[in-house]
Each structure stands twice: as C-alpha cells, then as structure tokens.
Chain A
Amino acid sequence: MTVIKQGFQDLVQDLGRNGYTHVGISPTGAADKVSMRIANLFLGNQVNDAVLEITLFGGTYLFDMSTTICLSGSHFTATIRGDDVPFNKPVTIQKRDILSIGGSTSGARCYLAIQNGFSVTDLLGSSSTHLMSKTGGFRGRNLQKEDQLAYNEPEKRYFPIDRKFPIDHNRSIIRATPGLQHSLFDKPTQELFFSKEYTVSHQSNRMGIRIHGPKIQKRTPEDIITEGLPLGAVQVTGNGDSIITFVDHQTTGGYPKIANVIAADMHKVGQLRPGDVFTFELITMDKAETYYLAQEQILK
C-alpha cells in the first residue's frame, strides 16, 4: 500500500509488545484495542494482526494488490472511487483502488484493518510502533508520503458481516477504581476529583493524556518511591495537574496515583481528543473486573 497523501499520525499497531517492562520497554499497542480487535474480527483475522491506527485525520492510500479491508473505531469520512466507505463492514479492494480518509466526525482514532494484516519487521514479538524510542512498526515512525507499507496476501474467506458488538462508547464518562496512592489525598480532595469535569489538553499523546480540571493536592509534599506504572493510572504531578498513563507510557514513575481507569474503559481513553470534556466515575474493583470480563466475552 502506497501513501499518496500523509495523514496526521498513521501508525502500525497491534495488541502491543508485552513481556519487556522489566527491562524498561513500554507495552505500547493500539490506543483503542476494542476497535482494533473489532476491525480484525470483521475480516476473520487473528485479533493481533497489525492494523493502521489513524489519528484525527487520515491520508490517501493506493492499494497494490486486491484484498479486503475493514474500518472501525470513530467515524472518519472515507471514500473509494468517490463512494463512501462504510465502517464495521468488510470492503472489497481492487488492485489500484485509492482510499481517501478525511477527518474524524467523532473521537480521536479509527483503525484500518486488512485481510491477514499489514506486514512489518517484527520487533520482540510485536508490530507496534513506539514513537518515543522510534522503534517497531514501520521504521519506528508514522507513515509519510511515498512510503510503501506491505500487507499479507489474502485468501478466499467467509466474512462474518452481521456481527454486533454492544460496546459502551460514551467517552464523557470514564470509570475508574481507586489508585494505588488514593489515601495520600484527603476525602474532600478525592470527592473533588470524582465530581468535577476535565478537559483533554492539546499536549496529550500516546504516552499520557493530560487533562485540565481542578488542581489536586495531596496531604504531604513528599514524592513516592518510584514504582511500576499500571496502564490507565491517573498520576497527579507536583503542580496538581493530572495525567492518564497511556499505551506508550514509561514503565515506572514517581507521581502518586489517585485513580485508575478501568480496563473496560481504556478504549474510550484512546478516543479522547483535545477539547473533549468528561468526568470520572468511581467504581469498585469487583465491578471493574466484571465489566472487563463481560467486554472480553463480546469481543470473542
């Protein structure tokens, strides 16, 4: 697939590079793994097959070999030969077809899956791009004009077209469990944290989603001893700002964590875009696990 026009940030991603945080290597992977998996499921792919993650606005892509694709995630304008391309449906591609993806009409990202996946050099068992270390994916970076991204040969296949995935996509409410250091914050501060609205900052990226809201102060000024960072941890910095730890995160950190986004809502974090407003909803660890297991059932 040849890039004719470059998108804002087109990255090759899969479910991530797991098994290396103890040597400082970030797990990375798709920002919205739910949409990424759904795109693959519609094509009958392996769930971990490499997809293209398209952020805010896409580019124009020429296909060198006929195949089948599927778009999923937030809705972006998309056309082939002047026709709108439906989302969440397998779409047949002829050799020399040109796919143009425009801007998003909802959240931050959509996913372009292709039959049997895109093909890049494997790095430690994953095709995911990690931007900070400039590794993985396609040459460790976003796709640029004239890049040629290879994809695997398709075969004749039955596509499960009428599947429904009843997933909660409402990103104005993000559910969270208490963070590891929630007790470093007094009760009124915790209540403040869970009652106010937050706006997503322009300084957000795949390492962390910076959010503007009430300044959160902990009881004592001391930092905590540096420790491992869970995905989705809401870290409170020295000046009282909050950051949601995201997929490309550093493996360890020293800021206290007041809350942790639940696994079943991490896909919503991947769809947050600058200027979005949301609130956190506090739930128990038991409920969080129940929601996670229920979501896994839906994505089987």
Chain B
Amino acid sequence: MDNESVMENKHTEHIHRDDVGSKMGMWLFLFTELILFGGMFILYAGYRFMYADSFRVAAMRLDTVVGTVNTILLLTSSLTAVLSLAAIQKKQKLFSMYLLVFTIVCGGAFLINKYFEWSTKIHHGFYPRGPEMADLPDGEVVFYGLYYVMTGLHALHVIVGMVFLTFMLVFVYKEKITFDNSQKLENAGLYWHLVDIIWIFLFPLFYLIH
C-alpha cells in the first residue's frame, strides 16, 4: 500500500518501508469487508429466524452440486495464492507466476459457474419482480433477495480480487515483488483468502438447508 516512499527513496541509502504497517492497513480494510458482509449476515439470521420454513423450501431450488464445485474451486485458489507467496519467498519466480495464473483462472471458473447458476434461476423466473416471484410466500421472496444480494456482492469481490492478483502477476514479472519485498503479494493474498472465508459461510447458509 505505502509503496510511495519506497519509490521515492529508491536511490537513497536508507529505504523506509514498513511491511508490518502495510499489512496492518490491509487487515483493517479486511475488517470493514467482514462487517459489510456481517450486516448481510445479521439480516440473513433475522429473516431465517422469522421465515424458517420458507427458507428451507426456497433453498431446495438451489443446486448443491454447483455450490460444492464452487467451494472447492475457491479453496484450491486460496491454496495456490498462498503457495505463490511461498514460492516468491523461495526465489522461484516462474513457479510463483504459474501459481498466480492458476489462482486467477480458478476465480474465473467460479464466476462462470455463478453466471450459469444465476441465468438458470432467472430463466425460470426467480428474480426480483420476476413472473414466479409474485406467487411465492413472503419468506421465499426475502430468501431470493438475500441470495442475489449476498452472492452478487461476493462475486463482485471475486472480480476485484482477480484484478488485484493480475496486478501482482505483473509486479512479479517486472520484479517489483521479489523474495525480500513481497508484502504487496501477501496483502493481495489476504484479500483473496477473506473472499474465500466469506464463501465458506455463504455456502452452507444458502445451499445446505434441507
């Protein structure tokens, strides 16, 4: 984050860089993301409490297989993200880049899956103001509202994470990220893992109510 001072002082003998401070800034930012989703989790908990039966019925219409595949995809991408950091710290630049590419591809696959999942739902008329929604009981309407907002917001974070990681890939290639200067990569990784953790909770809450 604070690479400004690093750039400016490149040619001076004393390089001011605070990796811990940079990581702290990233973590604090992650907390705001956690609370942002936390707000949605409060609403989810409240409405699930009010409409327990409708939630169960509505959740039956979601595809558990798609959800499981997406979970595995994100978990795997999280593994390769952290491996790419380990690789760069072991001075294995090329390996680190392969791992980053794999991570981004996993994120892409997750989004493609999500796209087909949403379009199937929309095709069947289950979307806000959609033809099926008028006849549904209140609880199911709320369930789909939460479903679209929470998975949509999550998908948005996946996209942002992929953009971050792409920048990191370029930085590794240009050797702006090296074995002794890898905080940026670690920060991007932290963001990616957080997106993973949020999905770890979304998955059972939407796909596994029976």
Asked whether A and B interact, the reply is: no
Q: What is A's interface to B at a CB cutoff of 8 Å?
A: none
Q: What is B's interface to A at a CB cutoff of 8 Å?
A: none
